[in-house]
């Protein structure tokens, strides 16, 4: 489970549905990403989009993924 992603999302008061919309994916696919069922190794497009949404450096997302 990507608790860092859930924590970022909830701290910005976003639902899974809203995150899916921002990432241009379905809510269920986003849920699977957050729960670790999909994108076990995030691709660069997803990393870039998450960094953009939360206004954080790509390197920060990468560091979260390696923990």
Instruction: Provide DSSP, the chain.
Output: --HHHHHHHHHTT--HHHHHHHHTS-HHHHHHHHTTSS-SS--HHHHHHHHHHHT--HHHHHHHHH-
- The pLDDT assigned to 66 comes to 85
- Provide the whole-model pTM: 0.88
- The pLDDT assigned to 53 comes to 97
The parts of the chain modelled with pLDDT lower than 70 are none
- The pLDDT assigned to 39 comes to 87
């Amino acid at each position: 489970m990507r608790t860092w992603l859930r924590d970022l999302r909830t701290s910005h008061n976003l639902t899974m549905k809203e995150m899916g919309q921002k990432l241009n994916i379905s809510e269920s696919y986003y849920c699977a990403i957050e729960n670790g069922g999909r994108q076990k190794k995030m691709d660069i497009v997803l990393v870039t989009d998450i960094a953009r949404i939360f206004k954080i450096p790509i390197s920060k997302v990468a560091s979260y993924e390696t923990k």
